[in-house]
Structure formats: C-alpha cells, structure tokens
Amino acid sequence: LKLLDQQIESKDQQRITKERYFSELRKLKQDLDVYNGELEKISIALPDAVQPSSIPFLHDLVQTITSSSGLILQSISSSATEGSMPNSSLTIIRIGIEATGSYEAVKTFIAQTRTSTRLLDIESISFTSGGTASNQYSFAITLNAYSY
C-alpha cells in the first residue's frame, strides 16, 4: 500500500509539473499573439523556405519594381544557394537583371527595393553609357533575397 501511495504521489507531481508547463505555454502564446502583425511582416520579408512558386513571385516583384521605376527590363535570372552562412539555414536567392533607363530611374529602383515587402539587398550595380547624346544607360544589377 505504501508503494502504491508513492506511485500516486509521483504521478501527481508529474501531473502538476505538466499542468504548469502547459499553463506557461498558453501564457507565452497569448504574449506572442500580441505581435501577430509584426510576425506576419517578418514572414513576408523572410519566407520559411524556397518554394518552387517563390522564384516566379520574386521575378514578378522585381519586374514590377523595375517597370514602376521607369527602367526597361531586358533580362532576369536567379539562383538559390542554401546554407550560405555557417551554422545557418539561411538561403540566399541571387537575382540578376539587365535593364535600360535613365540615372533617375535607377535611383527610383534602388529606393523601391528598400521599401519592398520582401527583403531585397542590392549586391552590385554596373552600367554603361548608351551614347554621348543619350541619357539612357544599360544597367546590370544583382539583388539578393533571403529565406529560411
């Protein structure tokens, strides 16, 4: 009977510990629910993983930014590199574009990439002149997008 009482006491302690644990989890969930809007923004800027559908979405986003800034998109390409940083599951999606337009248009493009819903970094920009009488340039721009 004493052994049975000890087992009951042990199980009761385990139950109390689990109740505390789940109570703490419920409290943490309530605390996190306050930040749903901010977490959603982070989720959009840094999606969980590279999905087959995410590359066309990125191309569409870059094409939209390019055309709304006044640049004329000539070509676009992309490649994904998983685990690009040590001890990280971060995936870098490198997007290369070639476009033509004015210097003002490329400045607008840079500003729009900074305010995009998706986190985009400009890695490099190079340009060549379209001629002496023209204010049109050819631009080669490399962007990085990220996901986990």
**Mean of pLDDT values over 92-120:** 94
pLDDT tens per residue, range 68-80? 999 999 999 998 8
User: What's the token pair of residue 99?
Assistant: 């476009």
Residue 123 is inside which H or E element, if any? strand 120-129
CA dihedral 79, 80, 85, 88 (to 10 degrees): 170
The strand pairing partners of 143, in sequence order, are 95, 122
Which residues 6+ apart lie within 8 Å of 108 measured at CB?
A: 68, 69, 70
Binned at pLDDT 50, 70 and 90, residue 133 comes out as low
Q: List, in order, residues 6 or more apart from 131 with CB less than 8 Å away.
A: none
Residue the block writes with tokens 């066309």: 56
Cβ neighbours of 110 (radius 10 Å) = 14
pLDDT digits (tens, 9 = 90+) for 2-45: 888 899 999 999 999 999 999 999 999 998 888 888 888 877 77
Q: Which residues pair with 145 in a beta bridge?
A: 93, 120
